Amino acid sequence: MNKGVHAGFDAPFLDEEEQMVMGALEEFEPDPDLDERKAEWQQALRNTVRKKPVTLRLQEQDIRRIKSMAYRKGIPYQTLISAIVHEYAMQRV
């Protein structure tokens, strides 16, 4: 890498790639409608991904196994149960 290019006080030596990144940052203009578009996307997400609480009676040994599996995967066991039900509902299992 050629670090011999001087680019100002805050970044005294930048290589070609770093200069390109700095140039892109200097030309960047934020989207003036970003907050509005973000709110629209958040609402769309809320409208499409709805979850409903459900009460199930499961065998204790099944719950223990699922909790153990979830622990090994590093996720809450309710999330694992939800994923299993979803896969079944989508006819993937």
What are the domain boundaries of the chain?
A: 1-44, 52-93
Report the chain's mean pLDDT, rounded to a whole number. Answer: 84
Give the CATH number of domain 52-93; options: 1.10.1060, 1.10.1390, 3.40.50, 1.10.1220: 1.10.1220
Whether the per-residue pLDDT at 11 is higher than 70: the answer is no
Structure tokens at 76: 């809450």
Q: What share of residues in the chain are helix, strand, coil (percent, to 5)?
A: 60, 0, 40
Structure tokens at 30: 């934020």
HSE of 3, CA atoms in CB hemisphere, 13 A? 3
Query: What is the predicted pLDDT for the residue at 28?
Result: 84
Measured in whole angstroms, the distance separating CA 85 from the mean position of its chain's CA atoms is: 22
Query: What is the predicted pLDDT for the residue at 7?
Result: 46
What is the tens place of the pLDDT at every residue in 49-81? 778 899 999 999 999 999 999 999 999 999 999
Structure tokens at 68: 């153990």
